[in-house]
Amino acid sequence: MGEGGVAHLVKFESWGEFIAMGGHGPYVFAAYGLVILGLVGMVLIARANMNAARETIRQRALIDEVSS
Amino acid sequence: MWRFFHQWGSPKSFFELSGRCLPWIGGLALLTLFSGLLWGLLYAPADYQQGHSVRIMYVHVPAAIVAQSSYVLMASCALISLIWKMKLADVAFTTLAPIGGMVTALALLTGAIWGKPTWGTYWVWDARLTSTLILFLLYAGVISLRQFGSPTPQGGRAAALLAIIGVINLPIIKYSVDWWFTLHQPASFTLTARPSMPFEMWAPLLVCVVGTYLWMIWLWLLRMRVEVIKRESRSLWVKEALLIS
């Protein structure tokens, strides 16, 4: 699996063995998937909120400028 | 020391200082988490009893640790906001509650997934699991109470009080594995004793714990910045900061 200096330290002989995880594959990947989804999702939501807040303030400032 | 508090305490300087730290903390969080998770998934050894399901530890334990630390941080900020009516402390505890809620949910979910192949069940009503569920409900309570108040430290008083009272739950989570008979194993890490697992396991676990802490700080700063510019949207410095950049 993979190239590079640490490839021989990988605990799996093949991709198939890695996916199967000795029968525990569904549990292991479900747990990792949920965590990655949760961590990445929260950051993306926070960034979207920041952009939305910026846009609102920017537009309000433009309206203030026009009306004043 | 006071200068430090003064600088971070004013929303304007907080926004400037946090903006400078943010890319570094975010980059470091991604790097640490990526290498830690890859290490746990590919290079850490399988357990002689549990087999490969032990790899769930590298996501479950960091989530559980950060879930409890976040609560301590949230309650401390709530206390500061109650006593000194500091604006930024109110922003801090308000924005940390959903982060804590999320990591607690992840700790519970990954724990349930780990429980199935290890204990033969997703859930048992034992002390560790139940007190962690209560931690999640406390976060949910703080989030919903905060929704009712106005965006001032006064508006967050009820939520702050709940956050502080909920601290009682933390020693219960911590000592639940010693006080009651439980399926859950005792602490993986303590500050006083050597780890009970081999280096090949605790080293990647430590990297994942550090990475999850960095993620929490990163997201916390991001969320605080959003809340700060929303609350201060009428002030000149926000308009200047946003219109120039």
Mean pLDDT of chain B: 91
Whether A2 is in a domain gets the answer no
CA angle (B181, B134, B213) in 5-degree steps = 95
Residue of A nearest to B214 (CA): A39
Mean pLDDT of chain A: 88
Q: What pLDDT was estimated at residue B240?
A: 83
Q: Mean of the pLDDT values across residues B233-242?
A: 85
Whether A41 is in a domain gets the answer yes
Whether A15 is in a domain gets the answer no
Whether A13 is in a domain gets the answer no
Whether A61 is in a domain gets the answer yes
Residue B47, φ and ψ in degrees, nearest 5: -85, 145
Q: Which residues of A touch B215 (CB under 8 A)?
A: 39, 43
pTM attached to this predicted model: 0.91
Q: What pLDDT was estimated at residue B1?
A: 58
Q: Which residues of A touch B243 (CB under 8 A)?
A: 58, 61
B33 touches chain A (CB under 8 A): yes
What is the SS3 assignment for B47?
A: strand
Residue A56 lies in domain: 24-67
Q: What is the pLDDT of residues B159-174, one digit of tens each?
A: 999 999 999 999 999 8
Q: Give the rounded percent of residues in chain B with a pLDDT score beyond 70.
A: 93
What is the SS3 assignment for B51?
A: strand
Q: Which residues of A touch B55 (CB under 8 A)?
A: 21, 28, 32
Residue of B22, B43, B55 best to disrupt the A interface, most CBs of A under 10 A: B55
Find out whether B67 and B166 touch, Cβ atoms under 8 Å.
no
The total number of structural domains in chain A stands at 1
For every residue of B152-197, DSSP letters joined together read STTTTHHHHHHHHHGGGHHHHHHHHHHHS--SS---S--SSS--SS
Residue B51, φ and ψ in degrees, nearest 5: 70, -145
Q: What is the pLDDT of residues B161-207, one digit of tens each?
A: 999 999 999 999 988 888 877 778 777 776 666 677 889 999 999 99
Residue B91, φ and ψ in degrees, nearest 5: -60, -45
Nearest CB among B42, B56, B102 relative to A31 is that of B56
Q: CA dist A41 to B61, B78, B128, B148, B213, Å?
A: 20, 26, 27, 26, 16
